[in-house]
Amino acid sequence: MSQDPNIVTRPPVLMRAIRKAMAGTESVQERLDHFVDAITEAMTVKVASIYLRRPSRELELSATRGLKKSAVHKTLMAPGEGLVGHVAQTARPLNLAEAPSHPLFSYRPETGEDKYNSFLGVPILRGGRTLGVLVVQSEAQRNFNEEEVEDLLTVAMVLAEIIIDDERIGGQKGALKGITLAQTKPETFNGKSFADGLAQGIAHLHVPPVAPSNLLAENIATEEIRLEDGIAKLRASVDAMVSGEAASLSRASKEIYETYRMFAYDRRWVQRLREAVHSGLTAEAAVERVRNEHRARLMKSPDPYMRARLHDLEDLANRLIRALAGESISPGKKGLPQNAVLFARDLGPAELLDYDRDKLIGIVLEEGAHSSHTAIICRAIGIPLIGRAEGILDRIEVGDSVLLDAETGDIHIRPVESLTANFHLRMNIRGEVAKAYEAVKNLPAVTRDGRHIALQLNAGLLVDLPQLDMAGADGIGLFRTEFQFMVSEFMPRLQEQTDIYRKVLDGAGQRPVTFRTLDLGGDKILPYMDPVPEENPAIGWRAIRIGLDRPALLRYQCRALIAAAAGRHLRVMFPMVTTVDEFIEARAKFDREVKRASSLGKTLPNKIEVGVMLETPSLAWSVRAVCDHADFVSVGCNDLMQFFFAADRDNIRVSDRYDPLHPASLSILRFIAEGCEMENVPVSICGEIAGRPVEAITLVALGFEALSMPVTGIGPVKAALLALDTQKLKERITPLITIDSRLPSVREHVREFCMEEGIPI
């Protein structure tokens, strides 16, 4: 193999001919005609034909050189019929020296193909679908050699990309007489709604396919070197994963990493990539071509295990493409259209925050979990998110129109008009409901029996601030300071941090803001910090544990908060506190910073409150003790429930398995509320459940008087509270929350109560 880029290895004759055929700006039909001409000349064969699949799945002869032109757009092959149908069905090349004697040979007199003996057919694949078949034939009885098979596969890939791309931009509509190559059939997928809302937009892929303009190599030697380089980088990163170095970057299990490694070192895979580059493709296009071949085969496999392996290969191919592009970030961020609905297998919170939020209106993931931070951010910024939409990446095309219904979890791709019309109607109704919330926006959330409940916002970025007014929130009950760190390219310096916190306080005006110190670790990784390998990051070195072990970061943050709140009210709390001692230690660090600011003659905040996040069961059982030291308690239900039920909030198999309205979890929540009340320390809830009406009214009935939630929860929760008689609900559920309760959840009882009482939920 040539390894010196200074030696220009010219692409094979066929590739040069194809490049020429691509250069014109003719219609799709003319391009197909040029393709078959170029193929016959470069491969010195008599016949080259392109069969394309119609929506009815029949294969239509769409261009030919060598067969009778009169058969073009007339000859149709049923699925599986003849050699061409067989190639389409198996998604594999078929290479025969004497085609007419093959049992599947189907003679079509109108084409005049009887005089040709040798036959080579290759599938035209894209996104795991077979778009058609490319065939060459000649009179001589001979098998085509391996290089010729490779070349034809490469041409088939270029063909697929060119035609789909032309289709997409709409310039050549109708040119192929009714053959539609892009997916046009409407399809509906169902997933799980992780962030409510409706959106109509244009599909955009987090990991986009290679652009057709970058398919053909200028210089094969350069591409060979790039490929080897990319494979080496890929292998190094997969090795690092398996050895645990990057384990905290992803929740995928070791088993998956091992499978990755198996594929990354698979000699046949690498060999296929090398062959594809050798045939004249760029390294990226080679990855894409081999990926398409695997997809087409694996998707047909009856074995679910094999079909599941497709994901691993997809991931690996994406990683390789990224390694080739020398990018650590996803290339999908480029070219985000207006009203984009983003499709990805999974998306980390930092990746999400990297997207332009003026353009992004919805997200669909094949994986994801309700209480992952990506889902939390989506709810906070009002972007509907549907997760666990299995298999959708195999069906979606960039530019497809999409209706995203995160009320039901449905995703409609290429929807029919009647569905769109109905969707618009529902969007309007939502608008009306939002107006109804708007009408009560400035009313205090007072229950029918006179309890005043503070409804606050969970926020984390400066752009969240206008939502305070939009939703009529009573303040920010949880400001996740780490989000601002996650969207920065470098660690924010003291002054930058101070400026950010000052702007938050400015934005909130008279309303209180509770800043939470950095909650890093778990799925919250800073792009500029090396992740520490951990088996169980959620219960590992995170949050206040890092703060206490590496106090510089915590100290600086406290310093910035104290400076930002000069002359104002400052509320600070520490995350993931597990024992009272930890809180005492963290508070001492904060107090030291106050003393320092004072000794330097700085203006101090006019009021300081230092609270604790209660998100571990151990601290719940020490609630009264921690109240001796904390000015307030804020219950982080996302983590508390994860630890209480021993169910990883990011693991899709277990995250929804337990209902937070189980009598056992309600007992612990009531225990916390009562403990705080006895100690006369204010307590609030700041997990996601506070933003759901059924959960929210139950929490209020347990004794919580402040709820902090995503912006989308404030309207519905306020509407429910205005109709609630707290005492009545308390009387209804108290007998159900007992140590010997056999109920799996009190949810149905609360719902029933709401129906009787006319509480909107």
Q: Is 204 a known active-site residue? A: no
Q: How far is the CB of 635 from Mg ion (least distance, A)?
A: 10
How many angstroms separate the CA atoms of 754 and 722, rounded? 12
How many angstroms separate the CA atoms of 692 and 8, rounded? 64
Note whether 691 binds ligand PEP by CB under 6 A.
Answer: no
Q: How far is the CB of 687 from ligand PEP (least distance, A)?
A: 3
**Residue nearest to ligand PEP according to CB distances in the complex:** 636
494-508 vs 551-564: helix crossing angle, rounded to 10: 40
Note whether 681 binds ligand PEP by CB under 6 A.
Answer: no
Per the residue annotation, which of 627, 637, 686, 754 is the catalytic one? Answer: 686
Q: How far is the CB of 547 from ligand PEP (least distance, A)?
A: 14
Among 298, 344, 489, which residue's Cα sits nearest to residue 360? 344
Give the angle subtended at the CA of 734 by the CAs of 728 and 737, to the nearest 5°.
150
Note whether 482 binds Mg ion by CB under 5 A.
Answer: no
Note whether 32 binds ligand PEP by CB under 6 A.
Answer: no
Q: How far is the CB of 226 from ligand PEP (least distance, A)?
A: 41
| Count of residues in contact with Mg ion, rule CB under 5 A | 3
Per the residue annotation, which of 34, 373, 412, 662 is the catalytic one? Answer: 373
Note whether 572 binds ligand PEP by CB under 6 A.
Answer: no
Stretch that binds ligand PEP, among 98-106, 205-213, 253-261, 632-640 (CB under 6 A): 632-640
Note whether 476 binds ligand PEP by CB under 6 A.
Answer: no
Note whether 480 binds ligand PEP by CB under 6 A.
Answer: yes
x-or-dash string of contact with Mg ion, 607-626, rule CB under 5 A: --------x-----------
User: Using CB distances below 5 to 8 A depending on partner kind, what does residue 637 bind out of Mg ion, ligand PEP, none?
Assistant: ligand PEP
Residue among 332, 348, 521, 636 that touches Mg ion (CB under 5 A): 636
Tokens 């970025």 sit on residue: 461
Note whether 639 binds Mg ion by CB under 5 A.
Answer: yes
499 to 558, contacts with ligand PEP by CB under 6 A?
A: 519
How many angstroms separate the CA atoms of 482 and 111, rounded? 68
Please, which residue, 415 or 636, has the CB nearer to Mg ion?
Answer: 636
Among 140, 157, 145, 175, which residue's Cα sits nearest to residue 35? 157
Q: How far is the CB of 700 from ligand PEP (least distance, A)?
A: 17
User: Using CB distances below 5 to 8 A depending on partner kind, what does residue 478 bind out of ligand PEP, Mg ion, none?
Assistant: ligand PEP
Note whether 272 binds ligand PEP by CB under 6 A.
Answer: no
Residue among 131, 182, 238, 686 that touches ligand PEP (CB under 6 A): 686
Query: Which two three-digit tokens encode residue 96?
Result: 């025969």
Note whether 376 binds ligand PEP by CB under 6 A.
Answer: yes
Pairing of strands 340-344, 198-205: parallel
E strands, 600-685, where?
Answer: 607-614, 633-635, 683-685
Tokens 């261009």 sit on residue: 63
User: Using CB distances below 5 to 8 A depending on partner kind, what does residue 686 bind out of Mg ion, ligand PEP, none?
Assistant: ligand PEP
3-state secondary structure of 450: coil
How many angstroms separate the CA atoms of 733 and 755, rounded? 15
Q: How far is the CB of 575 from Mg ion (least distance, A)?
A: 6
Question: Residue 337, exposed/middle/buried by CB under 10 A (0-12, 13-18, 19+)?
Answer: middle
Residue among 639, 650, 695, 725 that touches ligand PEP (CB under 6 A): 639
How many angstroms separate the CA atoms of 25 and 348, rounded? 41
How many angstroms separate the CA atoms of 645 and 661, rounded? 12
How many angstroms separate the CA atoms of 296 and 123, rounded? 10
580-599 vs 551-564: helix crossing angle, rounded to 10: 50
Q: Is 686 a known active-site residue? A: yes
How many angstroms separate the CA atoms of 713 and 687, rounded? 12
Within 8 A by CB and 6+ apart from 761, the residues are: 693, 694, 697, 716, 720, 751, 754
Note whether 695 binds Mg ion by CB under 5 A.
Answer: no
Stretch that binds ligand PEP, among 100-108, 149-157, 274-282, 635-643 (CB under 6 A): 635-643
User: Using CB distances below 5 to 8 A depending on partner kind, what does residue 648 bind out of Mg ion, ligand PEP, none?
Assistant: none
Q: How far is the CB of 741 from ligand PEP (least distance, A)?
A: 24
Note whether 719 binds ligand PEP by CB under 6 A.
Answer: no
Please, which residue, 151 or 615, has the CB nearer to Mg ion?
Answer: 615
Note whether 150 binds Mg ion by CB under 5 A.
Answer: no
3-state secondary structure of 659: coil
Question: What are all long-range contacts of 163-171, with beta carbons under 8 Å and residues at least 24 apart?
Answer: 163/28, 163/31, 163/32, 163/52, 163/131, 164/126, 164/131, 164/397, 165/212, 166/28, 166/31, 167/28, 168/397, 168/398, 168/399
Binding site for Mg ion (CB under 5 A): 615, 636, 639
Catalytic residues: 373, 686
Where do contacts with ligand PEP occur on this chain (CB under 6 A)?
376, 478, 480, 519, 615, 636-639, 686-687
